[in-house]
Amino acid sequence: MNEALSNRISRRSDQTTDMYDRAVRAGLTGHTITRRSGKTVTLDDGSACVEFVSCSYLGLEDHPRLVHAARTALERYGTHFSSSRNSVEPVEVRQLEELLGEIYPGMHGLVFNSVSSVHLGLLPLLGAGVLPGYPMGPGGPLFVVERTAHASMQALRGVLEQVGPVTRFRVEEPDSLTAALEQARAERRTPVLLVDGIGSMGGLIDVAALWEAASAYGGYVYIDDAHGISISGRKGAGYAFEQLGGHLPPGVLLVGSLSKAFGGSGGFVLTHDAADVTVLRREANPMVFGHSNMLTHVAINAESARMHVDGTVAGLQDELWANVELFDKVHGGDRLVNAGQRSPIRGLAMETEEAAFEAAVRMREAGVLCFPVFYPVVARGTGLLRFALSSKHTREQIESTAEHLGSA
Ligand SMILES: Cc1ncc(COP(=O)(O)O)c(C=O)c1O
């Protein structure tokens, strides 16, 4: 391994405290559940808690149509067809990819087993300039990674460096982006911006502005909108698609999750050119060398896509946003990370790890599970309680979080 990279990793490990282990020992995270009903989970000690942890923002996980799809798949295929993705696929994968073309008109969808697999499969091929729809300049790519881009992209730095250099920028410091874009121009490289849509721990990225900046330099914007899919936009196309004006500009690649609000499992990418899908199916590492998605999930994904197209999901979006608004209201708005933002994620940022730990203890004692996070998920020395809102939370469940959190 590249020495600088290995040092970065060992440095991060050295700087990580034992807070996560302490939180597990205290029963604040690392839970084992034995049952679920709505947003109430039963833990293995028999206690029942209300959870604000699951990223299934539209509560589709026990929707009768999805449960029925899984049962039908079991009867039709058994549990699994263990082959590489580009060798044998159940018809539901093709149905899903076609339905993605209805949710995102004119686009070509390709489904992977996870969002991380999309990144791993696509980004090296994009950088190598072998995707016909996304040609590279004579100097190759310059990967320009936003500081808060999800760890699944940041972790690929060493992989990306096999095809081009990697640099970073911060959205809140426009000069850092300009410097990276100028570097690309000077080196006759094509800048490839890697960003989130809705940030997993907070923030909404202005992807339209980034596209405007990148396109002036002949660049591309690769958006991981894992958290934004389904929760807004026509037919649940999601945050980034909506922010871009209800279409994908030619230099934008949009990646989505099927495992969060979508209610199934996996990840997908949308490209403009069917020829890109052909290359990815043939050459993307996880397509060739990875196993197929579990059949139940494949069938659930296809049925959920139908629920996006037929308008079922739009009704659930309204319930989600009403709950998000209520959460802001009962917490007094301003003190929350993402307050007032069109994101289903809320956070309570704490100046110290200890403060976050104590607040999580209070929530746990009140029978509320949230997600306490520490470095390296948030800045060193700080802590955050992360709350994921769902259309399924009841008014009482939301009000109780404010009651027990008090002035933490
Ligand atoms: C923004 C974002 N991207 C990617 C991932 C990784 O998703 P997957 O487990 O499908 O690889 C996550 C995981 O939660 C995420 O939040």
At 41-59, the pLDDT tens digits run: 999 999 999 999 999 999 9
At 350-405, the pLDDT tens digits run: 999 999 999 999 999 999 999 999 988 888 899 999 999 999 999 999 999 988 88
128, two tokens? 């190598």
pLDDT value, residue 183:
98
Give the atom of ligand 1 at the shortest distance from the alpha carbon of 114. Answer: 10
3-state secondary structure of 399: helix
- Reported confidence tier of residue 292, pLDDT bands at 50, 70, 90: confident
Percent of the chain at pLDDT above 70? Answer: 98
Give the atom of ligand 1 at the shortest distance from the alpha carbon of 116. Answer: 11
3-state secondary structure of 201: coil
Pair 57, 391: CB distance under 8 Å: yes
Give the atom of ligand 1 at the shortest distance from the alpha carbon of 260. Answer: 14
Mean pLDDT in the chain?
Answer: 94
pLDDT value, residue 270:
98
Q: Which of 53, 56, 152, 239 to mutate to test the pocket of ligand 1 (most atoms within 8 A of CB)?
A: 152
Pair 327, 401: CB distance under 8 Å: yes
pTM here is 0.95
Q: Which of 84-88, 139-143, 228-232 has the least mean pLDDT? A: 84-88
Q: How many beta carbons lie within 10 A of that of residue 303, not counting itself?
A: 24
Percent of the chain at pLDDT above 90? Answer: 85
Query: Which residues sit opposite 22 in a β-bridge?
Result: none
- Reported confidence tier of residue 4, pLDDT bands at 50, 70, 90: low
Ligand 1 centre to CA of 57 (Å) is: 14
Query: What is the residue with the minimal CA distance to atom 5 of ligand 1?
Result: 115
Ligand 1 centre to CA of 115 (Å) is: 6
Ligand 1 centre to CA of 260 (Å) is: 9
On the question of pLDDT at 121 being above 80, the answer is yes
Ligand 1 centre to CA of 116 (Å) is: 6
- Reported confidence tier of residue 219, pLDDT bands at 50, 70, 90: very high
Query: What is the residue with the minimal CA distance to atom 16 of ligand 1?
Result: 200
Q: CB pairs under 8 A, 24+ apart, for 67-76?
A: 68/303, 69/296, 69/299, 69/300, 69/302, 69/303, 70/296, 70/297, 70/299, 70/300, 72/299, 73/295, 73/296, 73/298, 73/299, 73/300, 74/295, 74/296, 76/295
3-state secondary structure of 190: strand
Region 31-36 average pLDDT: 96
Ligand 1 centre to CA of 334 (Å) is: 27
Ligand 1 centre to CA of 407 (Å) is: 32
pLDDT value, residue 234:
85
On the question of pLDDT at 40 being above 70, the answer is yes
- Reported confidence tier of residue 10, pLDDT bands at 50, 70, 90: confident
pLDDT value, residue 5:
64
- Reported confidence tier of residue 218, pLDDT bands at 50, 70, 90: very high
Q: Which of 12-21, 101-110, 202-211 has the least mean pLDDT? A: 12-21
Q: Which of 18-32, 173-187, 245-259 has the least mean pLDDT? A: 18-32
Query: What is the residue with the minimal CA distance to atom 15 of ligand 1?
Result: 226
Which strands make up the sheet holding 383-388, listed edge to edge? 345-350, 383-388, 371-374
Residues near 58 by Cβ (< 8 Å), separated by ≥ 6?
A: 230, 231, 261, 263, 313, 316, 317, 320, 390, 391
What are the pocket residues of ligand 1 if the criterion is a CB atom closer than 6 Å to any ligand atom?
114-116, 150, 152, 196, 200, 224, 226-227, 257, 259, 267
Query: What is the residue with the minimal CA distance to atom 4 of ligand 1?
Result: 115
Per DSSP, helices labelled H in 155-294 are 157-160, 174-186, 207-215, 239-243, 274-283, 285-289
At 148-190, the pLDDT tens digits run: 999 999 999 999 999 999 999 999 999 999 999 999 999 999 9
- Reported confidence tier of residue 136, pLDDT bands at 50, 70, 90: very high
Give the atom of ligand 1 at the shortest distance from the alpha carbon of 267. Answer: 10
Concatenated DSSP letters of 366-384: TTEE-EEEETTTSSTT-EE
